Homo-oligomer: A and B are copies of this chain.
Amino acid sequence: MAGVSTATVSRALQSPDIVSKKTRDAVFAAVSETGYSVNTAAQMLRRNRSGTILVILPDIANPFFSKILSGIEEVATQANLTILIGNTNGEDERFANILENLRNGRADGALLLNGCAPPDGLLAEGVPVISISERVNNSDIPHVGTNNEEAAYDATRYLVSLGHRAIAHAAGPDGNTLTEDRFAGYARAMAEAGLDDKINRVPCGFSFGDGQRAARHVLAKHADATAVFCANDESAMGMIRCLQDEGYVVPDQISVMGFDDVPYASIFQPELTTVHQARNLIGKQAMRMLLDFLSDQPMPVSPTFLEHSIVVRNSTSEPLDSGFS
């Protein structure tokens, strides 16, 4: 004890400026002497704040999320907030359990990366939540991410500008807003180029294996395609690998484009042409918005979109005149 009351200790630690220099020094000295550390539980209880925000994602191992996470962490750390990561694994029960953290006070707010609306009643009243990357359908949850429709439009236009006409789209999993947004952008660009009759939506998915399967589908049903725009990078790599296994040369005979620009996109052979998302910035921006909510700032109603860009590498080129044969 430094000869002062606990009240003064608390003040010295939380708002050093309202305490006289003399006692402040005494308190800090005692703190470092004893190795005292504020008890978080008591603080949480009294303040009715946990100083923690919950990040909910479907799969921690997915490299797509890692940069977003770093962005979130950066801002959270600056603001002295802890982040608690909840891995849903795509399971509703896990999701529900994770949301419990908002009701029992373990977290003050949440960032939602799994694109699922919290079931009715599971979301505590007035708890700030922001969705990232994947919009949540039919909900008024504020959103931060990439304008997927626009980005897919740009990607498709790029392929068109190379001279491609028969461009297929390997779409993501059904019931996912990313899938719909990206398909819409693709379809718009195709229509605008007068290629309505070339619009081909190939059912695919987001995994490497999905891409391989979709490649066989393309070869079987759309053999005239000279380019495929895939819903994400992983499926694009699967698509390419399967095409190569079948003896096709990418991009000479068929161009393949991805979406996301994951770290591996530039290591894969051929290096992947793709749509770059500003993942770090998305994370930062979302976290900043959540901070605003936590200090009772008003919520924006329209989604916040961050810049995307087309990254041209070696998986796309001008088509052979005849298409591949």
Contacts and interface: CB of A to CB of B under 8 A. Distances in A.
A311 to B, nearest CB: 18
27 contacts: A35-B103, A35-B121, A37-B103, A37-B104, A39-B104, A40-B105, A40-B106, A41-B41, A41-B42, A41-B44, A41-B45, A41-B50, A41-B105, A42-B45, A44-B44, A60-B60, A61-B63, A61-B66, A61-B67, A61-B263, A70-B87, A73-B87, A77-B94, A82-B84, A82-B101, A83-B85, A85-B85
A104 B52 CA distance: 14
A204 B83 CA distance: 34
A130 to B, nearest CB: 20
A18 interface: no
Contacts of A37: 100, 103-104
Contact of A66 (B50, B60, B94): B60
Contacts of A208: 267
Interface of A: 35, 37-42, 44-45, 50, 60-61, 63, 66-67, 69-70, 73, 77, 82-85, 87, 94, 97, 100-101, 103-106, 121, 208, 237, 241, 263-264, 267-269
Query: Assembly of this chain: how many copies?
Result: 2
A269 to B, nearest CB: 6
Contacts of A40: 44, 50, 104-106
Given A40-B44, A45-B42, A104-B40, A84 B87 contact: no
A72 to B, nearest CB: 11
A13 B119 CA distance: 23
A267 to B, nearest CB: 6
A325 to B, nearest CB: 25
Contacts of A268: 267
Interface centre among A37, A69, A77 (most CB of B within 10 A): A37
Contacts of A70: 60-61, 87
A70 B302 CA distance: 36
B104 A38 contact: yes
Nearest to A106: B40
Contact of A82 (B77, B103, B106): B106
Interface centre among A61, A121, A269 (most CB of B within 10 A): A61
Contacts of A66: 60-61
Contacts of A97: 77
Nearest to A269: B269
A148 B104 CA distance: 43
A23 to B, nearest CB: 23
Contacts of A45: 39, 41-42, 45
Nearest to A107: B40
A263 to B, nearest CB: 8
A104 B43 CA distance: 10
A60 B50 contact: no
Contacts of A67: 61
Those 10 A-B pairs whose CB atoms lie nearest each other, nearest first: A61-B66, A41-B44, A41-B45, A37-B103, A37-B104, A40-B104, A40-B106, A85-B85, A40-B105, A42-B45
Contacts of A104: 37-40
